[in-house]
């Protein structure tokens, strides 16, 4: 999780640890959404192994959106919907990959 927090901080040019707790709470919320969407538990994706690229990217996008949502809303009323759509597409891609990898397919 620390690498995800570091990536979000780098994206927003945050150099202090002042917002770390806030960002971590947004990462946890994003992970909860991803697990809900995929019908999986967080330990399956975020325990000792690194999450797949689509999952990690979805978490970063969502947590970044939660952190900076007011600015996104000022830019465009449709931008939040586009963000959620992109996250869901990433997660759907992950679901399809997992289905293709199941034995007997």
Entry pTM: 0.74
Q: What is the mean pLDDT of each run of 10 residues along the chain (105 residues)?
A: 87 88 92 85 58 81 85 75 88 81 66
Query: So what's the pLDDT on residue 48?
Result: 45
Selection from 39, 38, 6 nearest residue 23 by Cα: 6
Do residues 4 and 59 lie in contact, with contact meaning Cβ atoms separated by under 8 Å? yes
15 torsion bin: left (phi>0), alpha (psi -120 to 50), beta (else): alpha
* Total count of domains within the chain: 1
Query: So what's the pLDDT on residue 47?
Result: 53
Tokens 């995929």 sit at which residue? 38
Domain that holds residue 97: 2-101
């Amino acid at each position: 999780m620390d690498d995800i927090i570091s990536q979000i901080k780098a994206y927003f040019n945050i150099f202090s640890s002042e917002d770390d707790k806030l960002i971590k709470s947004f990462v946890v919320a994003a992970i909860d959404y991803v697990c809900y969407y995929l019908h999986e538990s967080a330990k399956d994706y975020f325990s000792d192994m690194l999450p797949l690229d689509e999952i990690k990217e979805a978490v970063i996008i969502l947590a970044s959106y939660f952190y900076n949502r007011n600015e996104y809303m000022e830019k465009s009323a449709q931008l939040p919907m586009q963000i959620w759509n992109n996250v869901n597409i990433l997660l759907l891609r992950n679901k399809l990959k997992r289905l293709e990898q199941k034995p007997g397919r």
